[in-house]
């Protein structure tokens, strides 16, 4: 059963320009983030792991700008977003269901970055009522590092046992957010997690005023919290 689909138009590999546009789409978001939000987040999560750190930081900033409805000067992340699709290649992504199971059917023939950007710009076209929930899910997606494997849908839909079997009841996502000083039930960006982790590790070190007795456990907790929020086994 088809649950959501998105067509992303993008420059062909031989083209000298880098352009992205949206084609046909069907992105149900009721109740938010809905199947449409899961598909968009799946596209981002499956592709983001191959981007370098600078591009991932730029993506975090773009998601924030799109979420708050800011004017987006073009190009962003080396690509120009446009409405004209003439001459552009197409990639077709789908979320399908069978019983209670869902699976991502992602078109992998195009370059990675246009797929990520297409999903981000598609999220910005959703209704205001759904956009906040969808962008929170996209931020979660940017923290995924496993590609499009069989754990991804579980990660996006909150089935934590499917991707973090090593965690204890104490070391869950709520604990990790608290350790790093984020508000409960938020989805901090990958950039924010890493920046906060580095700052807190530095302040915990005895060379920078941290307690010699407590430094070891504090740094261990900070490291585990970072791993939990970045979905690192």
CA contacts within 13 A on the Cβ side of 107: 21
16 and 131 share a domain? yes
Dihedral, CA atoms, 145, 142, 32, 167, nearest 10 degrees? Answer: 50
Per-residue pLDDT at 27 = 97
The DSSP secondary-structure symbol of 162 reads G
Last residue within a domain, chosen from 161, 195, 221: 161
91 and 180 share a domain? no
Per-residue pLDDT at 21 = 98
Distances (CA, A) of 185 to 43, 68, 172, 190: 23, 19, 12, 15
Kindly give the pairing relationship between strand 2-10 and strand 101-105. unpaired
Q: Is residue 183 part of a domain?
A: yes
- Say if residues 74 and 124 touch (Cβ distance below 8 Å): no
Pick out the chain residues at pLDDT < 70.
159-170, 207-213, 232-233
- State the CATH number of the domain containing residue 206: 1.10.287.110
CA contacts within 13 A on the Cβ side of 155: 32
Q: How many H helices and E strands in the chain? A: 8, 5
Last residue within a domain, chosen from 114, 130, 161: 161
57 and 145 share a domain? yes
Rounded CA-CA distance 61/131 in Å is 16
49 and 15 share a domain? yes
Per-residue pLDDT at 165 = 39
Per-residue pLDDT at 161 = 40
The DSSP secondary-structure symbol of 93 reads E
Q: Is residue 207 part of a domain?
A: yes
Question: Apex CA 97: angle with CA 163 and CA 166, to 5°?
Answer: 10
Q: Is residue 168 part of a domain?
A: no
201 and 130 share a domain? no
Structural domain that includes position 199 = 173-229
- The pTM is what? 0.83
Last residue within a domain, chosen from 101, 136, 161: 161
186 and 151 share a domain? no
Per-residue pLDDT at 147 = 84
């Amino acid at each position: 059963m088809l649950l959501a689909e998105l067509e992303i138009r993008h420059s062909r590999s031989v083209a000298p320009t880098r352009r992205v546009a949206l084609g046909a789409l069907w992105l149900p978001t009721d109740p938010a983030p809905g199947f449409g939000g899961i598909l968009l987040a799946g596209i981002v999560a499956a592709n983001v792991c191959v981007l370098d750190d600078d591009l991932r930081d730029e993506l975090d900033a773009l998601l924030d700008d799109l979420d708050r409805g800011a004017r987006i000067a073009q190009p962003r992340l080396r690509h120009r977003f446009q409405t004209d699709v003439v001459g552009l290649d197409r990639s077709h992504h789908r979320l399908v269901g069978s019983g209670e199971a869902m699976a991502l059917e992602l078109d992998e023939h195009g370059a990675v970055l246009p797929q990520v950007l297409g999903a981000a710009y598609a999220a910005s076209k959703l209704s205001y009522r759904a956009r906040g929930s969808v962008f929170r899910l996209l931020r979660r997606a940017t923290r995924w590092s496993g590609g499009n494997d069989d754990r991804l849908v579980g990660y996006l839909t909150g089935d934590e046992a499917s991707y973090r079997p090593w965690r204890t009841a104490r070391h869950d996502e709520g604990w990790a957010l608290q350790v790093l000083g984020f508000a409960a039930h938020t989805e901090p960006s990958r950039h924010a997690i890493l920046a906060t982790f580095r700052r807190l590790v530095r302040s915990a070190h005895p060379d920078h005023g941290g307690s010699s007795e407590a430094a070891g456990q504090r740094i261990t907790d900070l490291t585990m919290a970072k791993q939990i929020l970045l979905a690192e086994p």
